[in-house]
Each structure stands twice: as C-alpha cells, then as structure tokens.
Amino acid sequence: MATSITLLINLPAIASEPGKLPAQMQLTRIAADKWRADYSFSEAISRFSMPAAGDYRSTAWKPLTSGVRYQAEPSAQPDQQKDSYILDQPARQLSFQITSYNGFAPKNYAPNNRFSDGGAGIYMGFFDGDVQEGGKTRAMNLTVSYQGLSGETVIPPPAFADAERSLRAYAYFGPQKPAPAGAARLVLDPATPEWLAKLVLDTTSTMSAYFSSTYQRPLLPELVLMISVTDTSTAGFSMKGGATNGQITFRLSGKAMLNEHPAIRQLVQKLVSHEMAHIWQENVNQGGIGEAPAWIHEGGAEAMAVDALQKTGTWTAAEASNYQQTAIANCKKVADQTDNYQYAYACGLQKFMALDSDIPLLWRKLITETEKTGRNYDESMLNEVSKHLHSS
C-alpha cells in the first residue's frame, strides 16, 4: 500500500483571496531518485512562473506535458528573476518530472536534502508561483497532496491556515519513522554517528521541553526535526540548515563528526537551541519575523539559545559566559558592517545582553505583542517592550 497524506486536514475551509487561482498539485515519488508533480489549475493557463532557484529547474525539472517549454527570465534584481514554463495551448493540467538534486539555490533553502538511507526532504516553497491566464498574471492558492513509494513514510510540511506558509517547509519521503523527542519529533539519518545521534536527541528533547514551558505557548503545528548526513569523508565538520515554518532541518557533513569532540558538541547544542528559538519566535498566527534588520531575530535567537542552554544545565555558566564573550569580541570586528551576517548574530546577542532584561520575559512579551498587533518584530517594538519591563 502506498502512503498518501493530504495537506490541510482538520483546518477550517479558507476562502481564497480574490484574484488567486485555486490549484492543486500532487507530488508523487515514482522512483528512488524521481518525483512527479501533477498540477491541476481551476482554469486553463498559458504560463507558469516561479521565482528562480539557481539551476534547480533547468537541470532537475522536466515538463512531461507536451507543448511546454522552459524559459529563464533574467532580471537585474535577483529577487525578480524567474523560471517560466510556457504552454503552446492554454491547459488546466501541467506535469513535471523532478530528479534528485544535490545543489543549492543561491541564498535559499536546499531544494533536496538527501538521507543516506534513500530518504529525501523536498523543499515545497519551490513549487509555488504565478500563472498567466487570459493575459492576466495571478498568484495561485495551491494545495498539495503527497504520495510516497510503497510502504515509505511521508511527512507533509506542517499545516497552517495560510496555504502559502504551509508550503515554505520540507516534505519528507523515506523509510524512517520519526522518533518522539520532547515536544518534537525527529527524523534522524541512520548514518549519524551514535554519539551525535544521542546528542541531537537529548538536546532536542531538553530544548523543546524548555521552550514549551518557558514561552508558555504550545506549538501551533507539531515541530519536526530532520537531520540528514551528506557525507562523513570530507575534512572538518559542517552543519547547514535552519528553521522554516514549524520545521528544523540540518545537513551534516565531514569526517570530524565521527569522533566525539567538545567543540562539535557545543556547536550542535547551540544550533539546535538557536533554530528552536526561531520556531517559537514564529509560533504566531500573525506578525513574527519580518523585514526588520536581522539582528533582531538572530540576536534574539542567540540570546534565547544561551538562556535555554544555561537554564537547562546543558551548558555550564562558564560555557555560556565564554560564548557571550566570544560574541562581544566577534562583534568588534564587524561593528561597522551591519549587513555582515556575523553582525546579526554577534552584535545582535550583544545588543540583547545590553538590554539587561530577563530574556524569556522579554521574548514572551514580544511574541504576545506581535501576535496581538500583527506587527513584525522590529527595533521600536523591542525598545517599547524593554522600556515597559524596566518601568514595571
């Protein structure tokens, strides 16, 4: 029996915004390294465009519908570049074959996280786009269903009321059954070295329990962590990934992970805790992280992570203090480069330390404020909340 799970279960029906074209897509895994995406639009379309994603579409996507051609649409502004599929004849159906892809899309999510046991995480944000219909360009209101190979596990992205938000996450296809880890579930690549697997499981359990009780809000969707191992042969250790809507994904690589090492232990603990902080920052129905300078959510996540690591005894007070002092030193080096990513983390942490506030209390109030008003986190909200805390 093939496993099939449909997204948007148990959610109230949402009327699509005017102008958005209702569309469905089924993503079916048809072989170890192949998927099929079958789109069905509520009206015939003549062009389907998606924001560009490096060479992902030109190399890994093949239209299966006849009379469809691919066209890259360059633009001077990187966020305006598009990948388009042009139909000879307007049609309501459009199918693609998608093969496994190892590359990265510039400044974006990895399209395909591959696990050593054949499992795969597919980033669903790359399946959404605009259509052209009767000369008009319209956004889509896309809902997706998933079908895996016979007997395999399929974990769709977390369901949010906003269908578009639901797509900005990964769908997992593969043999693993997710393991419970505190308030989260964990899909762990079997190639993860034993000490590291235990560390990730323990850290995830401890941190998700701490965040759940400290930030006093149950998670809107269930948190799923996916850890894939890309290789254990290259030099050093690298951990790439991050938090998306309701999910944390990491890709591990490098032979240094084969042996237990305190620096790797600290890095993994900090990254898991940091990404989990973003999950709670975004655990809102409106507001959350927006266009404000990155130091607010990154420095905030650093501060929440250090607090959680220390309060749970995962780190000693000395380890936490060392980490903070290193951040202060790193911030000095980039203090005049506000667009440097180090600035957001190191100087961001320093700015939160300088507020001299209880971090859980501060972030509980920020989360409440963003949820209540729909305003994204920004510097003025931070100043207001911090001032209020000091005066009360």
In the range 99-158, which residues lie near Zn ion by CB under 5 A?
A: none
Distances (CA, A) of 40 to 85, 91, 122, 137, 224: 15, 9, 20, 17, 29
- Residues in Cβ contact with 84 at an 8 Å cutoff, skipping those fewer than 6 apart: 47, 48, 49, 50, 70, 71, 72, 73
User: Residue 301 or residue 309: which is nearer to Zn ion going by CB?
Assistant: 301
CB of 244 to Zn ion, least distance (A): 11
The candidate with the shortest Cα–Cα distance to 370, out of 388, 385, 353, is: 385
Give the contacts of 384 (CB within 8 A, at least 6 positions apart). Answer: none
d(CA 313, CA 304) in angstroms, rounded, equals 14
Provide CB contacts within 8 A for 236, sequence distance 6+: 254, 255, 256
Distance of closest approach, residue 160 Cβ to Zn ion, in angstroms: 20
- What's the min distance (Å) between Cβ of 278 and Zn ion? 5
Nearest CA-CA partner of 28 in 47, 5, 44, 10: 5
Return the CA Rg of the chain.
Answer: 22
CA distance 256 to 214: 34
Of 30-38, 96-104, 299-307, 318-326, the segment contacting Zn ion by CB under 5 A is 299-307
**Do the beta carbons of residue 103 and residue 54 sit within 8 Å?**
yes
| Antiparallel, parallel or unpaired: β 2-6 and 130-133 | unpaired
Shortest distance, position 301 Cβ to Zn ion, whole Å? 5
- Shorter beta-carbon distance to Zn ion: residue 214 or 244: 244
The residue (of 287 and 348) whose beta carbon lies closer to Zn ion is 348
**Which part of the chain contacts Zn ion (CB under 5 A), choosing from 227-235, 252-260, 287-295, 301-309?**
301-309
CB of 119 to Zn ion, least distance (A): 25
Site string for Zn ion, 256-295 (x = CB under 5 A): ----------------------------------------
Instruction: Tell the smallest beta-carbon distance from residue 83 to Zn ion (Å).
Output: 27
Only segment of 122-130, 215-223, 300-308, 314-322 that touches Zn ion (CB under 5 A): 300-308
Question: Under rule CB under 5 A, which residues in 59-78 are in contact with Zn ion?
Answer: none
Looking at beta carbons only, is 114 or 168 nearer to Zn ion?
168
Could you tell me whether strands 34-51 and 21-31 are parallel, antiparallel, or unpaired per DSSP bridges? antiparallel
How is 283-328 classified by DSSP, letter by letter? -SSS-BS-SS-HHHHHHHHHHHHHHHHHHTTSS-HHHHHHHHHHHH
Number of residues near Zn ion (by CB under 5 A): 2
CB 299 within 8 A of CB 350: yes
CA distance linking residue 241 with residue 271, whole number of Å:
9
Annotate 139-178 with b (16+ C-beta within 10 A) or e (fewer).
bbbbbbbbbbbeebbbbbbbbbeebbbbbbbbbbbbebeb
124: tokens are 């669903």
Nearest to 244 by CA among 218, 223, 270: 223
Beta carbon of residue 294, minimum distance to Zn ion (angstroms, whole number): 8
CB of 248 to Zn ion, least distance (A): 11
Sole residue written with tokens 């973003």? 278
Cβ proximity to Zn ion, 7 vs 277, nearer residue: 277
Closer to Zn ion by Cβ: residue 298 or 307:
298
Nearer to Zn ion, 229 or 301 (CB): 301
Between 128 and 298, CB nearer to Zn ion: 298
Residue with Cβ nearer Zn ion (119 or 299): 299
Our CB check for Zn ion shows the closer of 107 and 177 to be 107
Smallest gap from Cβ 346 to Zn ion, in A, equals: 12
The least distance separating Zn ion from the CB of residue 344, rounded to whole angstroms, comes to: 8
**Could you list the residues that contact Zn ion (CB under 5 A)?**
298, 301
